[in-house]
Structure 1
Amino acid sequence: MLNLSIILEDSARNTPDRTALVFGDLRLPYSMVDSVANQVANLLVARGIGKGDKVALLCPNLPYFPFVYFGILKAGATVVPLNVLLQPREITYHLTDSDTKALFCFEGSPELPMGARGREAFDAAEGCELFFVLPATPLATESEYGESFWAALDGMSGEFETVQTEPDDTAAILYTSGTTGRPKGAVLTHMNMLTNTIVSDEMFPADPRGDVSLAVLPLFHSFGQTAVMNVSVRRRATLVLQPRFESGETLKLMREEKVTMFAGVPTMFWALLSKIHADGDEAPSTLRVAVAGGAACPVEVLKDFEGTFGIPILEGYGLSETSPVASFNQLGRPTKPGTIGFPVWGVQMRLVDDGWNTIEGEGSGEIAIRGHNVMKGYYGRPEATEEVMRDGWFRTGDIATCDEDGYYTIIDRTKDMIIRGGFNVYPRELEEVLMTHPAVSLVAVVGVPHDSHGEEIKAYVIPAPGATASESELIAWCKANMAAYKYPRIVEFRENLPMTATGKILKRELR
């Protein structure tokens, strides 16, 4: 028996009265979070959801997220967290691709109408049977989009005996934008997720008075889920939830809640520093651990942060396919700024060439990973799994070097991926959608350097003969058809695109 929900149950048993979640004025103790998760589990079982069934969760960083996440796990089901920026067409794809039976969907706001999008997607996804609305108004029992979470939980017991799951049973399916177009679901077991949580937690000594962790990284993403939420729950810390990153608000929360741990992507650290320098403020004084991942952090930002906050940013590396943490600048050895550190406990890394042969010395080569953290494979995609897995090794698509001390440094992405504000954007997926527009004959999407987002998305378009669509019309169309972090902000019309002899577009000449 091994179930990831044990991290919540253990903390609720040992520190029932300690504050688990902070959201605005709400202070929720561990006992309550566990008991609502038990109600969710009872609800799922009562509605016929059982071991191995998939349940999707479309929700920003709100108390609902851990309630539902751990409730799904307790019921023995598999949680499928979805990106809150997805459009209805994209949500339907994820629900259908993962064989999801139930969807818990936040109602959203006028700016981000998740309830409307989720409902439209649910209605179009044939196999999905149950739709629960997480209302924006606290404890509301009615919603225009369907059955309210609180109404559904009414009369459900706060006690539940967690369904027995084996270490190799699936805990979560995390979708990762595939380099070959459509997103693929990385299948992660209870063993993958639990071990990665324990290893990540034990890299840092706990504050005896209780740690306070700030969750602004989205919890639907592997980094926020394991390194922030699950680590916080396991170490009986207080998790302060911030649904959207805003540098002023983040700094305010750090000060007011006496935050000791913060994990972010490089653009967040850059924004926090810019805000402090612009306002001439002191940095929050309680922070003890700062962790960066998601993209390489500019060395200037690392230096500035240490000078301003008095602690280093520790950089790590991982992917959805590796639960996610694979390597880290760990406290027992010197930190090397600009590197992703060395493999965490129980994980091996090596550099390989196209034929899987190990590259000796510094490299460069593609990072391959083996360990407790590597996924079972991509859901329903044996060919795609076979492409990246061999003898327990997973090849990442990231090109790196490795120094004599075993520290790795990422130098490039193999597949033209764009990282915009910490979100992975795969050009091919956008190109496929853009090609469906009648005014587009051919398109190449690339990332161009951007001061605050790291990269901005640009589409080079060869227009269809006689087409009259303008740049702004095309951008507006993309905005309506793609998630907000994906659509191109810049469109340039061209008569032709640079190509190789075999007709491949030379993207490096477009950047």
Structure 2
Amino acid sequence: MLNLSVVLEDSARNNPDGTAIVFGDMRLPYGMIDTVARQVASLLVSRGIGKGDKVALACPNLPYFPFVYFGILKAGATVVPLNVLLQGREIAYHLDDSDAKALFCFEGSPELPLGERGKAGFEAADGCEHFFVLPATALATESPYGETVWAALNGVPAEFETVQTAPEDTAVILYTSGTTGQPKGAELSHQNMLMNALISDRMFPRSEGGDTYLAVLPLFHSFGQTTIMNTAFMRGSTVVLMPRFEPGEALELMRKENVTTFAGVPTMYWGMLTKIHAEGAEVPRSLKVAVAGGASSPVEVLRDFEQTFGFGILEGYGLSETSPVASFNQLGRPTKPGTIGTPVWGVEMKLIDSEWKTIEGEGPGEIAIRGHNVMKGYYGRPEATAEVLDDGWFRTGDIATRDADGYYAIIDRAKDMIIRGGFNVYPRELEEVLMTHEAVSLAAVVGVPHASHGEEVKAYVIRTAGSAVTEDELIAWAKENMAAYKYPRIIEFRDALPMTATGKILKRELR
């Protein structure tokens, strides 16, 4: 018997009055979150949903998320968290693909009409039978989109015994962003998710007075789900919810709530540092641990953070398919900025070539991972699963090198690599160099089609405030600082770059 909901249940038993969630002026104790989750489980069972059924959840970082997430798990069902930026047609695809029987959907706001999109997706999906609205107004019992969760829970008992699930039963199906073809659902077991939370907890010492986590990474994504929500709940810590990242607001919340732990993607750190330097925003002194993942952090950002905050960002690496944490710059070992550290406890990593053959020494090669964190496979896709899994090893599509101490450093996504005139060009390496120029605040390098070279190197650049550097000046500088086959021949200045909901730069929209 193993059910991921134990991360909530245990803390609710040991410290029912401890603050689990902070959202605006709301402070919700562990006991209350567990009670509502039990009611959600009772509701699902009363509607004929139980062990092994799939239930989708489309909700930003709001208290509803843990209520419903743990309620679904208690019922023995599988959570299918959906990206809140999906359109109606895409929601229908995810519901159909995962065989979801129900959808819990946030009502939305004028800026994010999620209720409308969710309802359209639900109506277009064949097998999905139940639609529950998570209203924007607290405790509202009516919504134009249908039955609200509060109306549905009215009179539903809060007594519920968590359904027994086996360690290998599927707890969560996480859809990968689908940078290639249609999004696929990675099936993660209760054991996958629980071990990853245990390891994320074990890697950091607990603060004397308890820990407070800022949850601004979307909880529908594995990074926020495991390293923030599940790890914090396992510790009985407080989670401060922030639905949308805004650098000034994030710094303010850290100060106000004495946040000790923050996890983010590199663009979030870049945003906060820009705010501090440009507007003199105050540095929150309560912060003790800063974790980065989701994309490689530019070394300039790492250096700037350490100078500004007085301690370094710890970089890790993982994927939806690995629950997500696979490697990390672990405390108690030397931190090597610009690397993703070493494999976490119970996980092995190696470098392979396109034929799965092991590459010894430094590489470069593609990272393969084996351990308790590797998914069961892609839901309903045996062929896609067979392509990435072999003898327990999962191939990641990320190209890396490995130093003599066993630290891995990502060079790039295999599919982001540019082949210019027969030479391999790794965008990340060029981005690092460009960001050392004082006029460059952020850079994204992509390959664009070229008649004779196959691909040409193009850089999109956000200039630092007040900088007037021209395209020609920057190209000339790059030419002096990079090999002839590498330097960008085309530079385009932008005020912003397209990003995913998780803050990764969307290169496919730049190509």
Judge same fold: TM > 0.5, yes or no.
yes
After TM superposition, give the deviation of residue 449 of structure 1 in Å: 3.3
1:305-337 deviations in whole A, cap 9, x for unaligned? 111111110000000000000000000101000
Instruction: Name the SS for the 2:282 alignment partner.
Output: coil
Q: Distance in 2 between matches of 1:398 and 1:245?
A: 27
After TM superposition, give the deviation of residue 179 of structure 1 in Å: 4.5
1:205 aligns with 2:216: no
Q: Distance in 2 between matches of 1:255 and 1:487?
A: 28
Please name the residue that 1:500 is paired with: none
Q: Distance in 1 between matches of 2:506 and 2:218?
A: 22
- Contact 1:166–1:190, Cα closer than 8 Å, also in 2: yes
After TM superposition, give the deviation of residue 354 of structure 1 in Å: 1.0
1:337-386 deviations in whole A, cap 9, x for unaligned? 00000000000000001111110001000000000000000001000000
Q: Distance in 1 between matches of 2:89 and 2:311?
A: 44
Specify whether residues 446 and 222 from structure 1 end up closer, same or farther in structure 2 by C-alpha distance, changes over 3 A only: farther
Please name the residue that 2:256 is paired with: 256
Q: Distance in 1 between matches of 2:462 and 2:377?
A: 36
- Contact 2:264–2:291, Cα closer than 8 Å, also in 1: yes
Please name the residue that 2:424 is paired with: none
After TM superposition, give the deviation of residue 185 of structure 1 in Å: 0.2
Please name the residue that 1:297 is paired with: 297
Please name the residue that 1:134 is paired with: 134
- Contact 1:131–1:146, Cα closer than 8 Å, also in 2: yes
Q: Distance in 1 between matches of 2:276 and 2:34?
A: 37
Instruction: Name the SS for the 1:195 alignment partner.
Output: helix
Q: Distance in 1 between matches of 2:43 and 2:190?
A: 22
After TM superposition, give the deviation of residue 483 of structure 1 in Å: 8.9
Q: How many residues align?
A: 445
Amino acid at match of 1:338: G
Q: Distance in 2 between matches of 1:395 and 1:389?
A: 7
Instruction: Name the SS for the 1:137 alignment partner.
Output: coil
- Contact 1:85–1:484, Cα closer than 8 Å, also in 2: no
After TM superposition, give the deviation of residue 451 of structure 1 in Å: 3.3
Specify whether residues 10 and 484 from structure 1 end up closer, same or farther in structure 2 by C-alpha distance, changes over 3 A only: closer
1:396-444 deviations in whole A, cap 9, x for unaligned? 000000000010000011123999xxxxxxx9xxxxxxxxxxxxxxxx9
Please name the residue that 2:462 is paired with: 451
- Contact 1:416–1:446, Cα closer than 8 Å, also in 2: no
- Contact 1:179–1:415, Cα closer than 8 Å, also in 2: no
Q: Distance in 1 between matches of 2:336 and 2:179?
A: 30
- Contact 1:363–1:401, Cα closer than 8 Å, also in 2: yes
Please name the residue that 1:39 is paired with: 39
1:174-197 deviations in whole A, cap 9, x for unaligned? 000334410000000000000010
- Contact 2:188–2:321, Cα closer than 8 Å, also in 1: yes
Please name the residue that 1:232 is paired with: 232
- Contact 2:267–2:503, Cα closer than 8 Å, also in 1: no
Amino acid at match of 1:278: A
1:209-262 deviations in whole A, cap 9, x for unaligned? 110000000000000000111111011110000000000110110000000000
Instruction: Name the SS for the 2:416 alignment partner.
Output: coil
1:109-132 deviations in whole A, cap 9, x for unaligned? 011000000000000001000000
Specify whether residues 200 and 489 from structure 1 end up closer, same or farther in structure 2 by C-alpha distance, changes over 3 A only: closer
Q: Distance in 2 between matches of 1:205 and 1:451?
A: 37
Q: Distance in 1 between matches of 2:504 and 2:228?
A: 24
Q: Distance in 1 between matches of 2:508 and 2:192?
A: 40
Please name the residue that 1:498 is paired with: none
Q: Distance in 1 between matches of 2:259 and 2:243?
A: 16
Please name the residue that 2:59 is paired with: 59
- Contact 1:266–1:292, Cα closer than 8 Å, also in 2: yes
Please name the residue that 1:441 is paired with: none
Specify whether residues 204 and 162 from structure 1 end up closer, same or farther in structure 2 by C-alpha distance, changes over 3 A only: same
Instruction: Name the SS for the 2:200 alignment partner.
Output: helix
- Contact 2:43–2:153, Cα closer than 8 Å, also in 1: yes
Gaps of 5+ in 2: 418-426, 429-445, 447-454, 464-497
Please name the residue that 1:502 is paired with: none
- Contact 1:86–1:483, Cα closer than 8 Å, also in 2: no
Please name the residue that 1:165 is paired with: 165
Please name the residue that 1:111 is paired with: 111
Gaps of 5+ in 1: 420-426, 428-443, 453-478, 492-509
Amino acid at match of 2:76: G
Please name the residue that 2:217 is paired with: 217
- Contact 2:218–2:501, Cα closer than 8 Å, also in 1: no
1:8-63 deviations in whole A, cap 9, x for unaligned? 00000011111000000000000000000000000000000000000000000000
- Contact 1:4–1:190, Cα closer than 8 Å, also in 2: yes
Between the two proteins, what is the percent identity of the paired residues?
73
Please name the residue that 1:507 is paired with: none
Q: Distance in 1 between matches of 2:505 and 2:87?
A: 11
1:104-162 deviations in whole A, cap 9, x for unaligned? 00000011000000000000001000000000000000000000010111111222110
Specify whether residues 84 and 447 from structure 1 end up closer, same or farther in structure 2 by C-alpha distance, changes over 3 A only: farther
Alignment of 1:63-462 (within 5 A): 63-416=63-416, 449-451=460-462
Amino acid at match of 1:451: I
Instruction: Name the SS for the 2:358 alignment partner.
Output: coil
Q: Distance in 2 between matches of 1:78 and 1:361?
A: 41
Q: Distance in 2 between matches of 1:485 and 1:209?
A: 31
Specify whether residues 57 and 238 from structure 1 end up closer, same or farther in structure 2 by C-alpha distance, changes over 3 A only: same
Please name the residue that 2:9 is paired with: 9
RMSD: 2.6
Q: Distance in 1 between matches of 2:31 and 2:222?
A: 25
After TM superposition, give the deviation of residue 281 of structure 1 in Å: 3.4
Amino acid at match of 1:318: G
After TM superposition, give the deviation of residue 98 of structure 1 in Å: 0.4
Stretch of structure 1 that moved more, 201-210 or 184-193: 201-210
- Contact 2:265–2:504, Cα closer than 8 Å, also in 1: no
- Contact 1:54–1:80, Cα closer than 8 Å, also in 2: yes
- Contact 2:265–2:502, Cα closer than 8 Å, also in 1: no
